Amino acid sequence: MISIIIPIYNEEKILSKFIKNIFEIENINTCQIIFIDGKSTDKTNKILLKYKNLGYEYHVSPQKGRAYQMNYGTKFAKKNILWFLHADSLLEKDVVNKIINS
């Protein structure tokens, strides 16, 4: 039902916290999670690989820039609701249920 598109670029300082937060959300397993990297030059990719078993998608955008990365991410979205997030978001555990029930 929901494709979550997350543009990232050099997010090594906050990415682990974000990943832990998003995968604690109720019914997150019903969502498609797509990280779109703007060719990070820090340890962003290594951090994502650490959590690879969680079942997200990772794509490298041909061009850097949040707007471009978000648009690029829509090419991979398979669900009928597109939700764009940034890696500095802090989400409530019932947010997916709130979206589905609204």
Give this prediction's pTM.
0.95
Q: Is the pLDDT of residue 102 over 90?
A: no
Cα 72 from Cα 28, distance rounded (Å): 22
Query: Residue 86 to residues 36, 90, 101: CA-CA distances in angstroms?
Result: 11, 9, 23
Give me 84's structure tokens. Answer: 């764009």
Each residue's pLDDT tens digit, 17-65: 999 999 999 999 999 999 999 999 999 999 999 999 999 999 999 999 9
